[in-house]
Amino acid sequence: MDNRSAIREFLTSRRARISPQQAGLPSYGTRRVPGLRRAEVAQLAGVSVEYYSRLERGNLAGASDSVLDALARALRLNDEERTHLEDLARSAGPGPRRRRRPAPATVRPGVQRLLDSMTDAPAFVMNGRGDVLATNALGRALYAPMVDAARGATPNHARFIFLDPRSHDFWGDWERAADDTVALLQAQAGRDPYDKNLTDLVGELSTRSDDFRTRWARHDVRQHHQGAKPFHHPVVGDLHLTYESLDLAADNLTLVAYGTEPGSDSEEKLRVLASWAAAEAGAPRLRSADQT
């Protein structure tokens, strides 16, 4: 991806959402574009208009931490947006284009054993592009519609959400799932803009999905370390699950595990789902035995 374009569009989109009144500035005359003018951002950040204009044209190379701090304050960036700005500045730095160490295409045996030991909680491991590289039995059962839609290829959250109509039934809040997924991809693009697989994924989704293209143009970024998600599973119905995300720093991967409130309806439904998964796993072996 074009780092300069990403910088330009991110900074432009952030100043467009702040009105002069919100920034404590007087507003004069008719504005051709929403939000703050470049001169107003420069004033709030304490830099010259020429310097800020250069930054917004995509040249963050050499910007100091104090300048990034000033921009973050002027544009009212949250912690995740500030991290994204730092990632963009790092990628724009001098020297050859150095990629982050790529995440592996498979998980280590020790990680798979950890997943398999989590028998009461759906869990999976994914990379920054949303590829699901490994699951435990209950995780595979929970994400059965997405796994089935992949047809033997590596399941990917974004492809399922934006290219498969079944995702609208699977996610209890499809709009939120779509927003969150694109925001995660934007954050990953800031960390590693030279990931060809990510570039190809964004290109494919932009070509095939208006919903994706509209969201990508917003340049929202987000990381999710904990929270709750609603599902509508084809086997057990509605589920309300909490989740925790853990970084596997050695591999540049993320482990996500789901849970339920004790005594809740969702807790009982997870037990039913586990029984269904066990039956599905046993069925091929029984058929194979019958054939011998």
Tens of pLDDT, residue by residue over 198-244, are 999 999 999 999 999 999 999 999 887 899 999 999 999 999 999 99
Compute the distance between CA of residue 177 and CA of residue 161 in angstroms, rounded to an integer. Answer: 8
Token pair recorded at residue 184: 């995660």
Q: What is the pTM of this model?
A: 0.86
* Average confidence score pLDDT of the chain: 90
Given pLDDT bands bounded at 50, 70 and 90, which one contains residue 94? low
| pLDDT at 280 (0 to 100) | 82
Compute the distance between CA of residue 232 and CA of residue 217 in angstroms, rounded to an integer. Answer: 29
Given pLDDT bands bounded at 50, 70 and 90, which one contains residue 292? very low
> Which has the higher per-residue pLDDT, 180 or 290?
180
Residue 122 reports pLDDT greater than 50: yes
Find the mean pLDDT for residues 94-107.
67
| pLDDT at 100 (0 to 100) | 61
| pLDDT at 28 (0 to 100) | 74
Find the mean pLDDT for residues 183-192.
93
| For the chain, domain boundaries | 3-91, 109-291
What count of other Cβ atoms lies within 10 Å of the Cβ of residue 154? 16
Architecture of domain 3-91: Orthogonal Bundle (1.10)
Residue 3 reports pLDDT greater than 90: no
Q: Please give the backbone phi and psi of residue 56, each rounded to the nearest 5 degrees, phi first.
A: -70, -20
Percent of the chain clearing pLDDT 90 (strictly above) = 78
Tens of pLDDT, residue by residue over 9-60, are 999 999 999 999 999 988 777 777 789 999 999 999 999 999 999 999 999 9
Tens of pLDDT, residue by residue over 150-163, are 999 999 999 999 99
| pLDDT at 288 (0 to 100) | 30
Tens of pLDDT, residue by residue over 58-67, are 999 889 999 9
**Poorest-confidence range of 59-63, 255-259, 261-265?**
59-63
* Cα separation values, 195 from 36, 63, 77, 128, Å: 33, 23, 25, 10
Two domains, one topology: 3-91 and 109-291: no
Coil/strand/helix, residue 112: helix
| pLDDT at 67 (0 to 100) | 95
Find the mean pLDDT for residues 82-91.
92
| CATH ID of 109-291, from 3.30.450.180, 3.40.50.300, 3.30.750.24, 3.30.70.100 | 3.30.450.180
Pinpoint the alpha helices (H) of the chain.
Answer: 3-16, 38-45, 49-56, 65-74, 79-91, 109-117, 137-142, 144-150, 157-163, 167-170, 174-191, 196-208, 210-216, 265-291
Smallest CA-to-CA distance from 121 within 282, 246, 205 is with 246
